[in-house]
Structure 1
C-alpha cells in the first residue's frame, strides 16, 4: 500500500527505461505500479524494490479491458491517487515498408499508439482526482522526422507526440499536465548486437544509459516543459525538421542520421 506516498504507474517496467524509472522513483520514496508482459522481469524488479514499495502485474496494453482492470487494482493500493501515468511500453519492428508483414505493422500500431490511447483514456478519472498529476509518454527521436527503415514505428511516435501536445492543452481544464520524452540511442540489451559499439561517441546519437530517461521523468514532474530530449541535442533535429524538412530529407537519404529504432522494447 502507498500509505500516503505519491504514486507512479509505469508500463514497459520490466526492463530498460521503464525499469530504471521504477528504481529511481522508489528510491525517491514513491509507490510504484510496474506493468509489462514480461512477468519474470517484473518479479525481479519487485525483489529489488521490495514488495511494500510496489505493485506488479502482467498487462497487455493493447487490451483496454486489461488496462482498466490493472488501474482498478492499482487505485486502492495507491490510495486513490495517480501522480504520474507513464505510458512507456512499446515494440519496434523495422525493415523496408513494402517488405514488412502487415501483421507486424499492425502490432506496432497496436502497442505503440493504441496502447497509449487505452492507458490515457482509462486513467483520466484517477489523474483528475490527483492534484498536479502528469500524463507522461515515451515518444522517440524518430518523432522528429520520419525515419526510413522504421516508418510505421516512427509514425506511431509522431502520433504520440501530437497527442501529447493536444492533450497538454485539453487537460488543463481537468487539472492534468501532459508531456513526453524523445529518447535517442538508449543502451539496453534490447538493441541489436553491435549497435552501441557502432554508435558515435558524441553527438545526438551517442549511446545513453536508460537511467538518463528516468531522470527526465523525475524532472518532468517538477516542470511545465512539454517535450524532453535525451540527449538534449535531439531538439536541434526537431527544430531543423520543422524549419527545413526537405533539407533533412536529403540528409536522411544520404545516411546522415542513425535510422534504427532507438527506444524499442521486446514484445
Structure 2
C-alpha cells in the first residue's frame, strides 16, 4: 500500500512541486487548494486512483475536516503526511499594508496550519510514524523589514512546530518544518514591491529545491530543515551567536 499525503496550497509553487515529487515516488495524494480548476487541469493526466483534488480554504476548519475525513476514509482512516504549504505574502512597508491584509496573512499562514494540524490529528494518530511538515521560512529566524507580518507568521509556525514536536511524540507523530530563504514561486514573483533584503540576497532557489527538502523530511525528519547551503550555515551561526549580531546583519542587508 502506498503512503498517503495531504498537501495544501497544491495548485502552484512549492505545494505543486512537492506533489509532483511525491507522486513520482509512488505516494497517494490529496491535493487541496482554493483554486480547484487549476488543480484539475494540472492533474488531468495523473492516475486518479492516486490523486484526489479538494477545494479548500485553509481558514475554514469545517472544510478542512471534511476534506481530510473524505480522503482518509478511502485509505483505512490513516494519513502518513500532512504538508501545510498554503501561504501568502505581501512585501511592503508595514504601515502601507492594510489591516485587512495583515489579518489575512496571519489567518492563512498561521491559522491555516493550526486548522490543518487539528483536523488531521486523529488520522495522524492512527498512523504509525506519521509526519507533519509545516512551511516555514528563513524569515522565522529574525524579523525582516518589508516582510513584517509574514515574518511574524513564520515565527508562529516555527513555535507551533517545536511545541507539537514535543507534544505529539508520544503519539508517534513527528512534526517538523522546512525553512527556505527567498524562492522563485508565483507568490514571490507576482509581488508589486520588493525589499532591500531581497535585492541584496537575490533569489537562488526554485520550488523543486524546497520540494526536495520536504522529501528529505519524509525520509529523515529534522525539527527545522534549512534549504540551501548558504542559509544553512547562516542559520547555524545564528544559533551560536548573540541575537545582536543577527540583528546587525539584518540591518546591514536592509540598507
Deviation, structure 1 residue 149 = 0.7
Choose 208-217 or 146-155, whichever is displaced more. 208-217
Shift of 1:249: 1.9
Name the count of aligned residue pairs. 250
Aligned mates of 1:78, 1:204 — CA distance in 2: 44
Q: Which runs of 5+ in 2 are unaligned?
A: none
Which of 237, 249, 252 does residue 251 from structure 1 map onto?
A: 249
RMSD of aligned residue pairs (Cα, Å): 2.2
Q: Offset at 1:95?
A: 1.6
Q: Secondary structure at the match of 2:160?
A: helix
Q: Is the 8 A contact 1:139 1:160 kept in 2?
A: yes
1:172 pairs with 2:191: no
Distance 2:201 2:5 in 1: 29
Distance in 2, Cα, partners of 1:114 & 1:193 = 23
Instruction: Go from structure 1 to structure 2 and tell me whether the alpha carbon gap of 1:128 and 1:204 turns closer, same or farther (over 3 Å shift).
Output: farther
1:107 to 104, 107, 117: 104
Normalising by structure 1, what TM-score?
A: 0.87
Instruction: Name which of 29, 35, 41 aligns with 2:26.
Output: 29
| 1:160 matches 2:179 | no
**Runs (5+) with no aligned partner, structure 1:** 258-267
> Match for 1:15 among 12, 28, 32?
12
Q: 1:240 to 1:72 in 2, by over 3 A?
A: same
Residue 25 of structure 2 is aligned to residue 65 of structure 1: no
Q: How does 1:104-253 map to 2 (within 5 A)?
A: 104-192=101-189, 206-242=203-239, 243-253=241-251
Q: Say if 1:111 and 1:193 are closer, same or farther in 2 by CA, change over 3 A.
A: closer
TM-score, with normalisation over the residues of structure 2? 0.91
Is the deviation greater in 10-19 or in 37-46?
37-46
CA distance in 1, matches of 2:190, 2:78: 41
Distance verdict in 2 for CA 1:128–1:42, change over 3 Å: same
